[in-house]
């Protein structure tokens, strides 16, 4: 494979700046000497093949592009998305459901209140920037068990509500919690990307739609344990006309976020989910339409006309 160290060093500088990182921050994230990064970028030190591969992997750019193509000419990186967009993405990806009838059940009301508190707190911290001040690996690890306990209680309440009163709002919220709130707690890659993103107040759509890391043992164990549980929830939604669209949507999102127990690599699962979403858009699934519209908007690709 051809490799041009001059192109690679220019791409390193371009990608670092595009993602709003200083040399010191990139050094910390990679556990790599800051002086070395500086020397690579200025050309004082040749950027070798193996080290270039490390940088390419970090920025998730194919090595054949990183070492051969001027990325500044072919890539547009939108690494700074408005906080308002982040809040909209949260609401679109993870809709929360309630009703007057459902709230008459004490289990549902308690679970819904806990879930609402978790989401409101996260939104408030994003808006004020407080989450960026305290988001680091040590804090995340210390708080993870407490967060899991809250979500466990929320999940149990929704399960009890459905078992006792067949509140379908409980199942709708439950599946969303398992795929989009609970599962990421077990993914160290997401936590590390969140640390970089939030401490810089850079809201990155790539992070929001980030792929899961299948070799994370905790994540694998979680999926194995709850795979049937999530599947049963989706089946329940699909049996009811009012909720079938949501069931189809979560089936696709499950693959997008790689919360599925199969032998495929994450890229394959992601591709399957993308194809499912495209089909759902053709079927006028309102959840899939909202998801893809917002994502294409944030990616700078415009609004897909088929959804208008």
Give residue 240's pLDDT.
Answer: 95
Contact 199, 136 (CB under 8 A): yes
Cα dihedral 287→293→297→303 (10° resolution): -170
Domain ranges of the chain: 5-74, 83-307
Three-state SS across 205-224?
HHHHCCCCCCCCHHHHHHHH
Task: Please tell me the pTM assigned to this model.
Answer: 0.61
Cα 138 from chain centroid?
Answer: 20
Give residue 171's pLDDT.
Answer: 95
Give residue 131's pLDDT.
Answer: 46
Cα–Cα distance measured from residue 36 to residue 44, given in angstroms and rounded to the nearest whole number: 9
Give residue 61's pLDDT.
Answer: 78
Q: What is the mean pLDDT of each run of 10 residues along the chain (308 residues)?
A: 87 83 87 91 91 85 83 57 61 87 93 85 57 44 64 90 94 88 59 47 40 52 81 95 95 88 83 93 94 73 37
Query: Token digits for 14?
Result: 């371009």
Cα–Cα distance measured from residue 21 to residue 26, given in angstroms and rounded to the nearest whole number: 6
Give residue 229's pLDDT.
Answer: 87
What is 5-74's CATH superfamily?
A: lambda repressor-like DNA-binding domains (1.10.260.40)
Give residue 142's pLDDT.
Answer: 54
Give residue 2's pLDDT.
Answer: 79
């Amino acid at each position: 494979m051809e490799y041009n160290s001059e192109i690679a060093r220019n791409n390193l500088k371009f990608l670092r700046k595009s993602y709003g990182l200083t040399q010191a921050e990139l050094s910390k994230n990679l556990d790599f000497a800051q002086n070395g990064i500086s020397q690579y970028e200025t050309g004082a030190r040749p950027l070798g093949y193996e080290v270039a591969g490390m940088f390419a992997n970090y920025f998730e750019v194919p090595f054949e592009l990183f070492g051969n193509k001027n990325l500044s000419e072919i890539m547009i990186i939108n690494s700074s998305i408005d906080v308002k967009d982040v809040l909209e993405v949260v609401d679109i990806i993870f809709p929360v459901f309630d009703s007057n009838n459902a709230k008459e059940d004490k289990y549902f009301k308690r679970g819904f209140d806990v879930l609402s508190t978790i989401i409101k707190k996260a939104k408030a911290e994003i808006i004020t920037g407080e989450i960026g001040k305290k988001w680091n690996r040590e804090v995340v690890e210390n708080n993870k068990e407490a967060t899991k306990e809250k979500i466990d209680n929320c999940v149990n309440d929704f399960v009890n509500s459905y078992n006792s009163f067949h509140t379908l709002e409980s199942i709708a919220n439950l599946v969303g919690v398992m795929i989009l709130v609970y599962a990421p707690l077990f993914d160290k890659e997401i936590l590390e990307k969140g640390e970089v993103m939030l401490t810089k107040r850079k809201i990155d759509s790539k992070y929001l739609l980030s792929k899961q890391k299948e070799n994370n043992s905790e994540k694998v164990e979680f999926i194995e344990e709850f795979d049937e549980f999530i599947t049963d929830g989706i089946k329940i939604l699909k049996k009811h006309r009012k909720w079938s669209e949501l069931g189809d949507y979560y089936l696709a999102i499950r693959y997008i976020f790689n919360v599925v127990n199969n032998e495929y690599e994450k890229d394959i699962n992601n591709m399957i989910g993308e194809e499912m979403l495209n089909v759902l858009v053709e079927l006028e699934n309102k959840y899939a339409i909202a998801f893809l519209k917002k994502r294409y908007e944030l990616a700078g690709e415009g609004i897909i006309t088929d959804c208008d």
